[in-house]
Amino acid sequence: MSDSLRAVRGMNDMLPAEGALWRQFEAIVRDWLAAYGYQELRTPILEHTALFKRAIGEVTDIVEKEMYTFVDELNGESLTLRPEGTASCVRAAIENNLLFDGGKRLWYMGPMFRHERPQKGRYRQFHQVGIEALGYAGPDLDIEHLLMGARLWKQLGLAGCVTLEINSLGGAESRARHRQKLIEYFEAHRAQLDEDAQRRLYTNPLRILDTKNPAMQDLVSAAPRLMDELDAEARRHFDAVQQGLTDAGIAFKVNPRLVRGLDYYNYTVYEWVTDRLGAQGTVCAGGRYDGLVAQLGGKPTPACGFAMGVERLLALMQEAGTPIASDPLDAYVVNVGEAAARFALQAAERLRDAGLKVALHGGGGSFKSQMKKADASGARFALIIGDDEAQAGEVSVKPLRAGGEQQRVKLDNVTQLLKKG
């Protein structure tokens, strides 16, 4: 196949063999969200570029170099494939006045797009499940979100595979104080800053703390800590979150260097990480963003939320050996002959009326070759129909998984036999 017709680099097909894993994950997630009273929100995959620039921050990796942005040639608008879900969620809440009667707990699931260098666990189209609680100021919601995470890991068979790191970024004033101290500190060590850090020194010095450059790790470790600048209110909030975790028996580590790659956060931030997936070990991340609703034009509204990377969690489930429930076909209908083909169509529909999962062989072929397909389909039974059976209104039922003899029965009795077996 010519390269120009292949899938875009970093964007993957979900193949049939992976379907059971995705469906199991999604089913568990939906039940888990319902158990906490969250409501689904679906937003468009395309938004105006300005939304993400305003929400995520101009001087962030996402906005500076990872967005799929293009001009709609039909009207000259700059549009962007969503790199994350929080901005869209807040936009939709403001635009549709969702908060008119108080707070809302929302969730979304779907593809996100970032032009990153693809590698294991990092894709240009990836999927997130995210939740956003809009309109709640207290630490109780931060705690709820962390408890939700812990419960979900258990339900996915991942307890013990992920650990929690938390931090507080404080409010605007503590951040301004810390920012000033950081600038002074990095100015004093300017020679050790790489190009990225030089560029961000005055625009977004906090982001320098997030550097992956090994040569800058010592410098960054010794930098002034935001934690030391927290005001009393931020400290109380952070203490309450930690208390909530302790009360619930959830282990965590305070990581004062955790700053996140998006600018909208304040107060609590956190990441759930694993050491079992190599370099891309953050499976879920989020925190509080009390300023974002107002920043996007809504009434000042406190908020918090998180998003998880679906591909990373699925890889972790496989790595951890989480059992994947299969959902096999009940029957594969083998049919040879013209009258048999007509009767097989009717028979298959009849069984589906009774709620059975039935694949009808297509494309002809001998009994032998059809039986091979029946076996490979994973179906519990082969239903064998020749012109002979068709004439008699009967079906030969052959168990493919459990033992047992082949039996020839009236079509009316097949459902009962299959439901029993």
Task: Please report how the helices 139-155 and 232-248 are oriented relative to each other, as an axis angle in degrees rounded to 10.
Answer: 30
Q: Which of 94, 309, 316, 348 binds ligand HAM (CB under 6 A)?
A: 309
Pick 186 or 306: Cβ nearer ligand HAM = 306
Q: Determine the Cα–Cα distance for residues 381 and 383; give it in Å rounded to an integer.
A: 6
Q: Tell whether 68 is in a known binding site.
A: no
Nearer to ligand HAM, 116 or 196 (CB): 116
Give the CA distances from residue 4 to residues 14, 77, 360, in Å, rounded to whole numbers and listed in that order: 20, 27, 36
The CA-atom distances, in angstroms, between 116 and each of 14, 61, 206, 261 are 20, 9, 21, 13
> What is the spatial distance between Cα 352 and Cα 358, in angstroms, rounded to a whole number?
7
- Using only C-alpha atoms, the chain has a radius of gyration, in whole angstroms, of 28
Which residues, in sequence order, are CB contacts of 74 under 8 Å at separation 6+? none
Region of 84-92, 240-248, 387-395, 403-411 interacting with ligand HAM (CB under 6 A):
84-92
User: Of residues 122, 151, 181, 342, which one binds ligand HAM by CB under 6 A?
Assistant: 122
Residue range at the interface with ligand HAM (CB under 6 A); choices 146-154, 165-173, 282-290, 356-364: 282-290
CA distance 87 to 303: 12
Stretch that binds ligand HAM, among 26-34, 125-133, 237-245, 408-416 (CB under 6 A): 125-133
- Which of 41, 80, 130, 356 binds ligand HAM (CB under 6 A)? It is 130
- Choose between 143 and 336: whose C-beta lies nearer to ligand HAM: 143
Regarding 114 and contact with ligand HAM (CB under 6 A), the answer is yes
Q: Is 265 annotated as a binding residue?
A: yes
- Within 8 A by CB and 6+ apart from 247, the residues are none
Among 25, 107, 123, 136, binds ligand HAM (CB under 6 A): 123
Using DSSP's 3-state secondary structure scheme, residue 311 falls into helix
As measured in angstroms, the least distance from the Cβ of 83 to ligand HAM is 7
Q: Which residue has the tokens 């009434």?
A: 299
Binding to ligand HAM, residues 286-305 (CB under 6 A):
286-287, 289, 305
Please identify, among the stretches 78-86, 153-161, 349-357, 370-378, the one whose residues bind ligand HAM according to the rule CB under 6 A: 78-86
First to last CA, the chain: 45
Q: What is the DSSP string of 8-42?
A: PTT-----GGGHHHHHHHHHHHHHHHHHTT-EE--
Q: For ligand HAM, give the closer residue by CB, 223 or 292.
A: 292
**Of 33 and 262, which has the nearer Cβ to ligand HAM?**
262
Restricting to residues 131-150, name those near ligand HAM by CB under 6 A.
132
Q: Which residues bind ligand HAM (CB under 6 A)?
A: 84-86, 114, 116, 122-123, 126, 128, 130, 132, 261-262, 282-287, 289, 305-309, 311-312
